[in-house]
Amino acid sequence: MRATALLSFLSLWAVTESVAIPASDTSNVAGGGISNLLSRAATDPTDFSWVKRWAAVGDSFTAGIGSGTPLGSIFSNGLDPTADWYCARYDQSYPIIVNDALGPSVESFQFTACSGDRTGGIYKQIQDMSGNLDLVIMTAGGNDLCLSSMILKCVFRSFDGEDACDSVLEIAQTNLDTILKPNLVQLMEALNAKMNSNSVVVFNGYAQFFNTQNEDCATEQDWSVYNIFGSTPLPLTVARRKKFNNLVVQINSVIKTVVEETAKNSTYKYTVGFSNWDPWPSSGVNGQFCDPSSTGVYPDDSQPDLQFFKRNTNIPEPTDPGDLKKRAAINASEELPVEVRRRNQQDEIYNSLLYKSQNPQADVKHKLDWRAPAPPLCPGDKDVDIQDPSYTTPNFLGKNFHPNELGHYTIASWSLQTIMDLRAEVLNVAAPSCPAVDKFSCYQKTEGYHRYASAERLNSHLEDFCDKAQEMLTADPTEDNIKIYYDSTTPDEMYFRFVFMANKTTTFDHAECVATMNHIINACDAPDAKNPMGWKFGGEWQRGDRFYQVAPMFVSRPWPVVQKPKGRCTGWYHIAYSSYEIEGAGFSDYDYGGETLKPHIKSCIGSDPSSWKFEYYREPNENGYEWKATFDTPIWVRSRCFRNNKVVQEIGGWTDGCAGND
């Protein structure tokens, strides 16, 4: 099962950044005999039979809290602070996946990673494990930034205001600027005594949690828990999400720097590489929190590639199914969010000691010697080396803001690619690489895919996207992922995306962008008997190191597709004015009527319609309509504007007349 899933992940465009450390002892280098020269392991970096003894050390990202089934139980040495249950190690963590991929040559695998461990605890893990290792994979540093304090103060229990959130962010930044790098350097030093010559160390980075495309997470979702007084939490705004993401970018930068500087030290025996899986959740798939495709539920059929665990953050729908924008108007302290929090309190009471550890079983810190890494002094810590335990936060809560099973397969893929790259350096052979790919696909053929948009709207945005992509890539040459949404929160919502894959060798070509996007839109989904209106389902085209994508986003359009524009109209006389209601599908699908229906009504009746309201349904109603418009007009306009279908026909629609008495 794992091996099959991993094969698909190994096809990902892995981003690896590795450097070789000169080995002072070459006793493990193959050579001297014909059999060694012919040995595959001595020449093929994809052969893992050289890995006999290896270990996985680190924090909860390596322990795999929540991913799969727990290893061990409280009844099997559960209170031992190094035991599987205590450290929240799980059987679908990336080290377990990697161990399966390494194969039968492995004689010893030490899985010492422990959820909640900071660099001090990881230093102790390294000290305590057996040596003569061929391979180590690891994560470290996130807890030195008081990650769980940030989650508590800024997301889950952000009831103390902006200052409380900012204070823990300041501690994280201070630790980044002061203790993180020297702490990681000490881990590199401690590892040297445990490694064989010509061994390999893979240092995995972290990934940015949040998409920052829009404010839906702030206005349409509720991330708070344990709000017994109905307080107003801090909204998870784009600005706040960017602060979180920036810390991840910075910690990855520190890790990369430590790896590079370690390479310059000739006393080290191992080859080390930085495995950077951060691009995948944002550029490879829609894998971050707050992605525009998310409905807030977990798991989410609308966002199947989410890479992290989360709670259900959706706010229940009002009884009126029609208002797609309804949640933007709901204040965080009103009835619906309070009900969400009440429900969450019943099954997810989040203990206030969360900030002491991402995993309560691992909250007791190891006693370290004087050389150990400096403590981060997170909020709630006591001024002692060993912190008090907290057993009241279960793993199903502690796993939030950690990689889920998909995330661990991603990390495993990046780790294995990095292992192969580093092994190639040890062997002084070329690293394995993927051939240039030219692959075109249309999404309509994807089973169960029901998202579509009008060809007119897609084509109208094509050149704008390529113009903006060129501007953004020119302004920031390091940018490798451009994703722009159009016609947001409407049935025609879509995005265009351009991505430079790993190891890019070309530059952005505006003309190629226009031609490629045009081909994706117009070569797919020609009109036919099942799709007479020629709706477009989108597609993608990978052209070497360049990836282009066009993707409609609205998940609940009528299915089968709208065969022809349809609607209904009623108009009622009220002495001083007339009131109208129009529903429709297959037209006015992108603009809330502002560019189509409303201007043509004005042109016909001679003035702006008053009391204008236009709403898109979350799902098509029982008659298959996607939207409803209500408005008032002067009296006696039905015959000249609506009963004859004049207004709707001008915008490509149809209502088959207009009922009523106006």
Report yes or no: 569 and 645 within 8 Å, Cβ to Cβ: no
The Cα 315–Cα 338 span in angstroms is 10
Amino acid symbol at 34:
I
Half-sphere exposure of 481 (CA within 13 A, CB side): 13
Amino acid symbol at 457:
R
For helices 162-177 and 238-263, the axis angle rounded to 10 degrees is 10
Helices (runs of H) and strands (runs of E) counted in the chain? 18, 16
Report yes or no: 273 and 197 within 8 Å, Cβ to Cβ: no
Name residue, tokens 């039905």: 638
Collapsing DSSP to helix, strand or coil, 640 comes out as: helix
The Cα 218–Cα 236 span in angstroms is 5
Which pLDDT score, from 0 to 100, does residue 247 have? 94
- Measured over the CA atoms of residue 370, residue 373, residue 374 and residue 377, the dihedral's sign is negative
Comparing 41 with 313, the larger pLDDT belongs to: 313
The two three-digit tokens of residue 195, written as one number: 């490694």
Comparing 45 with 230, the larger pLDDT belongs to: 45
The two three-digit tokens of residue 241, written as one number: 């999400």
Which pLDDT score, from 0 to 100, does residue 373 have? 62
Which pLDDT score, from 0 to 100, does residue 358 have? 38
Select from 511, 504, 438 the least CA-distant residue to 470: 511
Give the count of beta carbons closer than 10 Å to the beta carbon of residue 544. Answer: 13
Select from 243, 219, 226, 417 the least CA-distant residue to 332: 219
- Measured over the CA atoms of residue 334, residue 338, residue 340 and residue 341, the dihedral's sign is positive
What mean pLDDT is predicted for residues 625-633? 98
- pTM for this prediction: 0.66
Write down the mean pLDDT value for the chain. 83
Which pLDDT score, from 0 to 100, does residue 75 have? 79
What mean pLDDT is predicted for residues 27-43? 43
The strand ranges marked E within 401-538 are: 438-442, 481-486, 494-500
- Domains of the chain, first to last: 2-377+388-427 (3.40.50.1110), 438-552 (3.30.430), 566-660 (3.30.1360)
Those residues whose C-beta lies under 8 Å from the C-beta of residue 53, and which sit 6 or more positions away, are 106, 107, 108, 130, 132, 133, 134, 135, 196
Collapsing DSSP to helix, strand or coil, 439 comes out as: strand
pLDDT in tens, 500-513: 986 667 889 999 99
pLDDT at 13 over 50: no
Comparing 556 with 58, the larger pLDDT belongs to: 58
- Residue 504, Ramachandran bin (φ over 0: left; ψ between -120 and 50: alpha; else beta): beta
What mean pLDDT is predicted for residues 107-133? 96
Report yes or no: 202 and 275 within 8 Å, Cβ to Cβ: yes
pLDDT in tens, 302-356: 899 999 999 999 987 654 444 444 333 333 333 333 333 333 332 322 222 222 3
Those residues whose C-beta lies under 8 Å from the C-beta of residue 173, and which sit 6 or more positions away, are 247
DSSP per residue, 116-135? T--HHHHHHHHHHS---EEE
Which pLDDT score, from 0 to 100, does residue 509 have? 95
What mean pLDDT is predicted for residues 111-140? 96
Report yes or no: 209 and 142 within 8 Å, Cβ to Cβ: no
The two three-digit tokens of residue 140, written as one number: 């470290």
Classify strands 610-616 and 627-633 as parallel, antiparallel or unpaired: antiparallel
Supply the DSSP symbol for 275. E
Which pLDDT score, from 0 to 100, does residue 588 have? 96
The Cα 133–Cα 165 span in angstroms is 42
pLDDT at 83 over 50: yes
Q: Which helix (H) or strand (E) holds 616?
A: strand 610-616
